[in-house]
Chain A
């Protein structure tokens, strides 16, 4: 129990209102930064897609300690579902945004059940192989996925007769990301989340309280996959298509990196990490580093070394220090006077 208490205060001070205020402020800042630029809008929507994949990784990995390497497949499932529904059916498109995450969730749970006796590196190995096999399948199953040509020409999203514009999708994706992050933060602090986090540290202790650990893990894997699929759906929905090679190992490594860069103490870290990932790998001056992925890899290393709690953790540390200094300062001033 000691380790558990020491590493992460289970009930953090984070309350609801400041979080919402920060999220709203963040969204306003993003909208202002984007302005009329289609490119910046693309960057932010890509950040949102990445953020959802990272948030999906956060639940089983950071909270539960199980690393599934099939996230490229989960994102692809979300992306493909949107395209398949749009091209091959006349169903309303919002259904695809729900269906994709459900399919990904089912796949993750099945995969989790098949590997339930495995832990740690064995789970990584099998899910990694699943990711490869899934990519091959998207090329092979051309009757469903369009095969190696990918899928393009998807219709625009319509919600209750209102056609969602690119701007609408952009703002909508900001809202979705913030809501999901908020939801996961609540989840993290709920008894379920505490049990999941406990499982990562000392599974036996959690088991002994009567919580079925395997079920806990399956639910976390399924939920994570669903969130990642939402990210994939956002990407293909916004960019109007998908290709078997779009989501590869790159997205898997990003998903692992992002939560740690942003800060593992809260799911908002994954969101911050996603923004940084996009800024470093796409919007970084090429005169400093020609390769965006190099820039991001270096940033990851530096953050892990210099700010092990991630960017958000570091900011919180700074804030605490400032507060302490201020209170120290006033105490000292008070001391002198007396």
Chain B
């Protein structure tokens, strides 16, 4: 009787689990199920053959960063498909393997090691900055070139243990320079800074504040937890400090929508600026109330006037029906794959790891799929952030429809 009772419980529990797990399964597999190489190759090339070159991706597929990681991995898969359709790398096909660390830094070392053991020749980290930092000693020991595909944490590419770690987006110094130029043009003198409570933003703030202090007066710096339910207190403090403009530095998402909407409501006359976060997350725009983001100026990276960005936008749009707009994370991830390809071709293969590193750190003038037309990327032994200067960015403005308007900010744009 007791056993029977237990069995019933087991069956019921199993049914619940199945109900939860199976829709998830189909959801998870849906994109992969589509034939990847259905479209005709863009260029006639001999199909790649031989041992595949393995790109290992640590993707936060289910954790706090899963939305951004999904964007990033989507662009990387597209890039790899493109490579395989156009003859591979040195005639060899590229194979992607992925593992999931859920942005849990205790798991990242093991996940990294698993990718390495499965033969990864290049690593791509679509995960949190803290996770990448935790993996740096392993990457260094294994001597495998690694890209943080969307991280903007400066500590990722800074010493120690940074020899094999690279990232794509603009360095903090570039962003502050651009902001200062923009504020000068807009006659903004007094700035309030609003950051979320994460370690990533803390690092950025520490770099930003001294630099911004040189061109404007920072009247107050406010912080709120990433999962804050309300930021009225912080915005009221900012309003009471009477700034000309507010700069938000955050991981974007719900948090930043809350900040921008509260700021717009409580101090409609204060200009609102944001570093590349919300502007790069099309999925989060729909959270805002009607015209809740209108007037927000952000340092964007993707502009369709760059022909390579336009191509990427078209390719992603063709492949994913829920695609909203191309953003920096797509472009950074695509370019990371393409730079890895260039490095491998330059080094003549992946077997000599030091040669591969040397090849990567000697790439310069690489045509970027983000930034203004003609923008380039480069690495050197001391420069581990790919962007070459200010033209990787622009000032974009959100319109009434809570989307960045095609018209960039009229007051100032970087001169390229």
Q: Do A and B share a direct contact in the complex (Cβ within 8 angstroms)?
A: yes
A interface residues with partner B (beta carbon < 8 Å): 37-39, 42-43, 46, 49, 136, 139, 142, 147-150, 152-153, 235, 239-247, 250-251, 278, 281-282, 286, 288-294, 298, 301-302, 305-306
Q: How far is it, in angstroms, between the C-alpha of A38 and the C-alpha of B113 when the chains are bound?
A: 7
CB atoms of B160 and A152 under 8 A apart: yes
Q: Is A282 within 8 A of B160, CB to CB?
A: no
Q: Which 6 interchain pairs have the tightest Cβ spacing?
A: A153-B160, A240-B137, A149-B155, A291-B62, A148-B202, A148-B199
* B111 pairs with A282, CB closer than 8 A: yes
Contact A244:B102 (CB < 8 A) given known A281-B107, A290-B62: no
Partner of B107, one of A147, A148, A152, A282: A282
The 0/1 profile, CB within 8 Å of A marked 1, for residues 137-165 of chain B is 11000000000000000110011110000
Nearest B residue to A87, CB-CB: B160
Interface contact B136-A241, CB-CB below 8 Å: yes
Instruction: Tell me, yes or no, whether B10 is within 8 Å of chain A by CB.
Output: yes
For A247, the closest partner residue in chain B by CB is B106
Q: How far is the CB of B4 from chain A (nearest CB, A)?
A: 13
Residue of A nearest to B203 (CB): A148
Complex alpha-carbon distance, A167 and B6, angstroms: 44
- Chain A residues near B159: list those with CB within 8 A: 153
A147 CA to B199 CA in the complex, in Å? 8
Q: Which residues of A contact B198 (CB under 8 A)?
A: 245
In angstroms, how far is the closest chain A Cβ from the Cβ of B412? 30
Cβ < 8 Å to A, chain B residues 97-138 = 100, 102, 104-107, 109-111, 113-114, 116-117, 128, 130, 133-134, 136-138
With known contacts A250-B104, A251-B106, A290-B28, A152–B161 Cβ distance under 8 A: yes
Known: A148-B199, A305-B10, A306-B10. A245 touches B107 (CB 8 A): no
Q: Are A49 and B13 in contact (CB under 8 A)?
A: no
A42: chain B residues at CB < 8 Å are 109-110, 113-114
B37 within 8 A of A: no
Q: Is B21 an interface residue (CB 8 A)?
A: yes
Q: Given A42-B109, A293-B62, do A152 and B136 touch, yes or no (CB 8 Å)?
A: yes
Distance in angstroms between the alpha carbons of A147 and B161 in the assembled complex: 17
* Chain B residues, Cβ within 8 Å of A46: 106-107, 109-110
Q: Does B9 reach chain A (CB closer than 8 Å)?
A: yes
Whether A152 contacts B133 by the Cβ 8 Å rule is yes
Bound-state Cα–Cα, A292 to B62, Å: 9
Query: Is A246 a contact of B155 with CB atoms below 8 Å?
Result: no
A153 vs B6: C-alpha distance when bound (angstroms): 52
Question: With a CB–CB cut-off of 8 A, which chain A residues contact B17?
Answer: 298
User: Given A42-B109, A282-B111, A305-B9, A150 and B102 touching (CB < 8 A)?
Assistant: no
Contact B199 A243 (CB under 8 A): yes
User: Assuming A149-B133, A290-B28, A291-B62, is B199 touching A43 (CB within 8 A)?
Assistant: no
Which residues of chain B are within 8 angstroms of A235 by Cβ–Cβ distance?
106
Which B331-370 residues have C-beta < 8 A from chain A? none
Query: B1-27: which residues lie under 8 A (CB-CB) from chain A?
Result: 6, 9-10, 13, 17, 21, 24-25
The answer to whether B100 touches A290 (Cβ under 8 A) is yes
Complex contacts, A142 vs chain B, CB 8 Å: 206
- Closest Cβ–Cβ distance, residue A277 to chain B (whole Å): 11
Between-chain CB contacts (< 8 Å), 17 pairs:
A43-B110, A139-B202, A148-B155, A148-B202, A148-B206, A149-B133, A149-B154, A243-B130, A243-B199, A244-B130, A244-B199, A246-B105, A246-B130, A289-B21, A290-B62, A292-B102, A293-B102
Q: Would you call B61 an interface residue if the criterion is a C-beta within 8 Å of the partner chain's C-beta atoms? A: yes
- Asked if B197 is an interface residue, CB under 8 A from chain A, the answer is yes
What is the minimal beta-carbon distance from B103 to any residue of chain A, in angstroms? Answer: 9
How many Å lie between the Cα of A292 and that of B101 in the bound state? 9
Check if A39 sits within 8 Å of B113, measured CB to CB.
yes
Report A305 CB to chain B, min CB distance, Å: 5
Q: List A contacts of B109 (CB < 8 A).
A: 42, 46, 239
Q: Name the one of B13, B133, B206 contacting A241, with C-beta atoms under 8 angstroms.
A: B133
Docked Cα-Cα span, A240 to B160, in Å, equals: 11
A39 contacts B117, C-beta separation under 8 Å: yes
The answer to the question of B200 belonging to the interface, with a C-beta cut-off of 8 Å to chain A, is yes
Residue pair A245, B105 in contact (C-beta under 8 Å): yes
Does A306 lie within 8 Å of B6, measured CB to CB? Answer: yes
From B62, B105, B138, B155, residue with most partner A Cβ within 10 Å = B105
- List chain B residues, Cβ under 8 A from A49: 106
Chain A residues, Cβ within 8 Å of B110: 39, 42-43, 46, 278, 282
Distance in Å: Cβ of A122 to nearest Cβ of chain B: 22
Q: Which residues of A contact B104 (CB under 8 A)?
A: 250, 293
Closest to A36 in B: B117
Chain A residue, CB-CB nearest to B128:
A245
Please name all residues of chain B whose beta carbon is closer than 8 Å to the beta carbon of A152 when the two chains form the complex. Answer: 133, 136-137, 160-161
CA distance A150 to B160 in the complex (A): 11
Residue in A closest to B61 when the chains form the complex, CB atoms: A290
Chain A nearest CB, measured from B17 CB (Å): 5
- Point out which of A46, A239, A278 has the most chain B C-beta atoms below 10 A from its C-beta: A239
Q: Name the B residues within 8 Å of A298 (CB-CB).
A: 17, 21
User: Shortest distance in angstroms between B96's beta carbon and chain A's nearest beta carbon?
Assistant: 14
Contact B130 A302 (CB under 8 A): no
Compute how far the CA of A286 lies from the CA of B59 in the bound complex, rounded to whole angstroms.
Answer: 12
Residue of A nearest to B62 (CB): A291
**Complex-state Cα separation, A142 to B199, whole angstroms:** 11
